[in-house]
C-alpha cells in the first residue's frame, strides 16, 4: 500500500469534500469542551427491518483532521467508488468535535456519520444524537463480525444498546513501556522483560535516573486522567478483584481515598518528589513522551502507539525497545479500554447508507490503514492488530493483541455519563498531590469529595 501525501489525497479526492484543518490528534488524550445543551431526550432506533440503500443518497462524514482523520478521507473515497454513493468528508478539529456534534444536531447541520470518543459518547446517545444499531447488527452485520473484539463492543454499549462501531482502540493509556537502551547500558542495568513487576520498574527507574543531569527514570502519559491513572491502579490487588479500580463497576462511586489507592498514590507522588518521575514543569511542549524522545528519561509509559511514535522520533539518536506495563504485586495486568468510535446521526435521511459506510470505516483494511498511513492505532478488529503490515510498524501491536483478545477492562465511565466533568475535577485535585502542593493523606478525601459530587448528579 503506497503512502499518500496530504497533497495527493486532496488531488485524488475531487468529489470528497474537505473542511477546516487544525491540530487534532494530540487532543484525543486531553479534556474536551463542556457539553452544550441538547434537544433530543431519547435515543433513536432504526426500524426493525432497515430500508434498502437509496441510489440518490449523499452522505456527509465527520472526521477529525489529519493525521487522525486520514483513514476517513481515504475510505470515504473508496466507499464512493465502490458503492456509487457520494461522500463528502468534513474535517473537524478534534477538540471541537464534542461541542460541534451537539450544536450541529440541534441546528440540523450534523453530518450523517460522526466521530466520537468515550468522553462524550454515552452522553450524546442519551441525548438522542446517535442511532441505535442493534437491528442493523442482526440484519446486516459487519463482515466477519466475530473478528471485532467482544470486550470492545461491550464497553461501547450503554444499558444494553449498541450505537457505534469501533475506530482507534487503546487497551490502556500506559499499557506499553518504552525504554532507552543506551541509558540502561551506561548504568549497567538489565533491560526489562515480559512479566516484570512494578517493584522491578521502581528499582530500574531509581537506578537509571540522574536528577543532577536532568535525567528522569520514568515518565507517564495522562497521569491526572481517570482512564490513564486507572490503567496503572488496576494492576494492583487480587487478579480477580476490583480493588484497584478508581470507579466501581457501576460508575457510581470513586474510591481514591482507600488503602489500595494510598499505596499507588504515595508510590507515584514520591517518585515525583524525588525527581525520578516528571512533574508538569519538566515536560516538553506539555508532553511527557517528548522528555523520553529527547533522551532525558530512561522509561516511558504510554499507549501502544506511543512506541511507534518514539521509534520514529528517536531514530539515529539512541536505541530503544518496549515491553508491556508491569504486573502488580499479585501478578495482575491492569488494562483500561478507551478509544474512538463511528456513529450514525439519528436524524440522517439515509440510515441504511450510513450503516454501510460505518461498516466500511470499521473494516480490517481500515484498521490496517490507521497504522500504516495514519500513524495511529488499529481499530477494533483482531485481524488488524495482528496483521503483519501493522506489526512491522510496531511489534507491540502484536503483543498487545493477546490482551484485547483476553478482554480489556472497561472505560471508567460514570453511571450518569458525565465523564468530562468528573475527569476535569479529578485532574484539578490530583495534580495538587502530584505537583507536591498537598500530601496524599491530606488531600485524597478532597479528591473523592469533588469527583463524587459529580457522580451523584442525574444523567443529562
pLDDT in tens, the chain (460 residues): 333 333 333 333 333 333 333 333 333 343 334 444 444 455 665 544 455 555 689 999 999 999 899 999 999 999 999 999 999 999 999 999 999 999 999 999 999 999 999 999 999 999 999 999 999 999 999 999 999 999 999 999 999 999 999 999 999 999 999 999 999 999 999 999 999 999 999 999 999 999 999 999 999 999 999 999 999 999 999 999 999 999 999 999 999 999 999 999 999 999 999 999 999 999 999 999 999 999 999 999 999 999 999 999 999 999 999 999 999 999 999 999 999 999 999 999 999 999 999 999 999 999 999 999 999 999 999 999 999 999 999 999 999 999 999 999 999 999 999 999 999 999 999 999 999 999 999 999 999 999 999 999 999 8
Using only the alpha carbons of the chain, give its radius of gyration: 22
Domains annotated for the chain, with CATH where assigned, are 6-171+338-406 (3.40.190.10), 176-324 (3.40.190.10)
CB 219 within 8 A of CB 297: yes
Count Cα neighbours of 304 within 13 Å in the Cβ-side half-sphere: 31
Q: In what order do the strands lie in the sheet with 113-117?
A: 86-92, 58-64, 113-117, 338-344, 165-170
Residue range 116-135, pLDDT digits in tens:
999 999 999 999 999 999 99
Distance between CA 401 and CA 399 in Å, rounded?
5
Rounded to whole angstroms, how far apart are CA atoms 255 and 243?
9
DSSP for 264-311, written as a single string? HHHHHHHHHHTTSB--GGG-BTTBHHHHHHTT-BSEEEE-HHHHHHHH
- Distance spanning both ends of the chain, measured CA to CA: 45
For the segment 36-89, what is each residue's pLDDT rounded down to a tens digit? 444 445 566 554 445 555 568 999 999 999 989 999 999 999 999 999 999 999
Amino acid at each position: 500500500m503506497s503512502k499518500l501525501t496530504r497533497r495527493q489525497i486532496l488531488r485524488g479526492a475531487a468529489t470528497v469534500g474537505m473542511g477546516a484543518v487544525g491540530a487534532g490528534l494530540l487532543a484525543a488524550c486531553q479534556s474536551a469542551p463542556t457539553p452544550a445543551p441538547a434537544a433530543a431526550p431519547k435515543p433513536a432506533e432504526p426500524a426493525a427491518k432497515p430500508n434498502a440503500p437509496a441510489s440518490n443518497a449523499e452522505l456527509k462524514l465527520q472526521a477529525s483532521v489529519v493525521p487522525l482523520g486520514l483513514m476517513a478521507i481515504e475510505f470515504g473515497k473508496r466507499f464512493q467508488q465502490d458503492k456509487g454513493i457520494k461522500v463528502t468528508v468534513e474535517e473537524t478539529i478534534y477538540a471541537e468535535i464534542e461541542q460541534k456534534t451537539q450544536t450541529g444536531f440541534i441546528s440540523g447541520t450534523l453530518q450523517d456519520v460522526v466521530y466520537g470518543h468515550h468522553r462524550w459518547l454515552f452522553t450524546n446517545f442519551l441525548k438522542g444524537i446517535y442511532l441505535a444499531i442493534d437491528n442493523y447488527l442482526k440484519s446486516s452485520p459487519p463482515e466477519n463480525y466475530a473478528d471485532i473484539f467482544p470486550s470492545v463492543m461491550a464497553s461501547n454499549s450503554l444499558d444494553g444498546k449498541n450505537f457505534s462501531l469501533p475506530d482507534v482502540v487503546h487497551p490502556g493509556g500506559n499499557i506499553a513501556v518504552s525504554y532507552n537502551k543506551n541509558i540502561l547500558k551506561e548504568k549497567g542495568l538489565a533491560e526489562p522483560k515480559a512479566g516484570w513487576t512494578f517493584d522491578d520498574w521502581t528499582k530500574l527507574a531509581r537506578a537509571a535516573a540522574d536528577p543532577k543531569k536532568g535525567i528522569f527514570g520514568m515518565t507517564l502519559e495522562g497521569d491526572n486522567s481517570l482512564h490513564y491513572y486507572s490503567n496503572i491502579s488496576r494492576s494492583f490487588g487480587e487478579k480477580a478483584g476490583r480493588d484497584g479500580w478508581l470507579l466501581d463497576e457501576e460508575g457510581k462511586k470513586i474510591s481514591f481515598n482507600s488503602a489500595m489507592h494510598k499505596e499507588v498514590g504515595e508510590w507515584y507522588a514520591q517518585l515525583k518528589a524525588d525527581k525520578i518521575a516528571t512533574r508538569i514543569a519538566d515536560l516538553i511542549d506539555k508532553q511527557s513522551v517528548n522528555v523520553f524522545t529527547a533522551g532525558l528519561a530512561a522509561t516511558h509509559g504510554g499507549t501502544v502507539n506511543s512506541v511507534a511514535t518514539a521509534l520514529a522520533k528517536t531514530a539515529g539518536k539512541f536505541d530503544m525497545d518496549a515491553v508491556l506495563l508491569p504486573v502488580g504485586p499479585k501478578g495482575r495486568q491492569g488494562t483500561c479500554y478507551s478509544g474512538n468510535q463511528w456513529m450514525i446521526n439519528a436524524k440522517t435521511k439515509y440510515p441504511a447508507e450510513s450503516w454501510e459506510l460505518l461498516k466500511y470505516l470499521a473494516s480490517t483494511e481500515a484498521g490496517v490503514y490507521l497504522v500504516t498511513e495514519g500513524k495511529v492505532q488499529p481499530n477494533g478488529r483482531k485481524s488488524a492488530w495482528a496483521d503483519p503490515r501493522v506489526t512491522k510498524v510496531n511489534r507491540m501491536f502484536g503483543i498487545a493483541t493477546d490482551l484485547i483478545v483476553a478482554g480489556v477492562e472497561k472505560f471508567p465511565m460514570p453511571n450518569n455519563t458525565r465523564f468530562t466533568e468528573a475527569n476535569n475535577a479529578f485532574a484539578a485535585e490530583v495534580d495538587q498531590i502530584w505537583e507536591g502542593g498537598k500530601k496524599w493523606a491530606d488531600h485524597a478525601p478532597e479528591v473523592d469529595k469533588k469527583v463524587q459530587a459529580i457522580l451523584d448528579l442525574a444523567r443529562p
